[in-house]
Chain A
Amino acid sequence: NAGVTQTPKFQVLKTGQSMTLQCAQDMNHNSMYWYRQDPGMGLRLIYYSASEGTTDKGEVPNGYNVSRLNKREFSLRLESAAPSQTSVYFCASRTDSTFSYNEQFFGPGTRLTVL
């Protein structure tokens, strides 16, 4: 049981380049999330997916696209990277309880630098 896995762990891009961050979970969760973490700003939600085939914008979606490929995988794409997208990106999945607390499980993060 690997939990939530993310690739790559580190990436350096030049302004204007594109890339896709990959995320997969093996806990059979319906809900998956992409966050970015910047100093002093906590975690900000980029996009989320409540179930396979659905995606919704979060707080900071501009400059990103997502794909919920299947129940396991949720990818984040930067079409034309900008220095403002330098950040640490976390993928998460969440339990689906309606009768008890829910828990979000986080991947180890991708540290992205855009020059």
Chain B
Amino acid sequence: GEDVEQSLFLSVREGDSSVINCTYTDSSSTYLYWYKQEPGAGLQLLTYIFSNMDMKQDQRLTVLLNKKDKHLSLRIADTQTGDSAIYFCAVDNYGQNFVFGPGTRLSVLP
């Protein structure tokens, strides 16, 4: 089945850029997603990218997709303390369900 991998931790200084990486095994997903989980809460959709695109920009967020290498990344510009959260990469499993990565815990240091 589909496998989605992420590094578990990332620590950055406030004001720096954060880059969270994700790799996946099955390239059939039409859309790929980034979800954010704040402490004590459920996940919320942060952004997504269509598989025919290689980049999508949404304010401080930039998503890069390399289909050949099956690599997805999320860049957060000017990272703030409010960005501290767990970020999940997800792919659509043939329209049945999403497969989530293990999540990357982003810590933003003042």
User: Contact between A90 and B48 (Cβ–Cβ < 8 Å)?
Assistant: no
Q: Count chain B residues whose beta carbon lies closer than 8 angstroms to a beta carbon of A.
A: 25
User: Contact between B50 and A101 (Cβ–Cβ < 8 Å)?
Assistant: yes
Category for how many chain A residues contact B: 20 to 34
Task: Give a binary string over B1-43; 1 marks a CB under 8 Å from any A CB, 0 the rest.
Answer: 0001000100000000000000000000011010100001111
User: Contact between A90 and B42 (Cβ–Cβ < 8 Å)?
Assistant: yes
**Chain B binding site: helix, strand, loop or mixed by DSSP?**
strand
Of A12-20, A69-77, A103-111, the segment with at least 4 beta carbons within 8 Å of chain B is A103-111
User: Contact between B45 and A103 (Cβ–Cβ < 8 Å)?
Assistant: yes
Task: Give a binary string over A81-115; 1 marks a CB under 8 Å from any B CB, 0 the rest.
Answer: 00000000010101000100111101111000000
User: Contact between A106 and B43 (Cβ–Cβ < 8 Å)?
Assistant: yes
User: Contact between B45 and A40 (Cβ–Cβ < 8 Å)?
Assistant: no
Task: Give a binary string over B38-73; 1 marks a CB under 8 Å from any A CB, 0 the rest.
Answer: 001111110010100000000000000000000000
A-B contacts besides A40-B102, A94-B98, A106-B44, 17 pairs, CB < 8 Å: A35-B100, A40-B8, A42-B4, A42-B102, A58-B97, A90-B43, A92-B42, A94-B97, A98-B95, A101-B30, A101-B31, A101-B48, A104-B90, A104-B98, A106-B43, A108-B42, A109-B40
> B-contacting residues of A (Cβ < 8 Å)?
4, 31, 33, 35, 40-43, 45, 48, 50, 56, 58, 90, 92, 94, 98, 101-104, 106-109
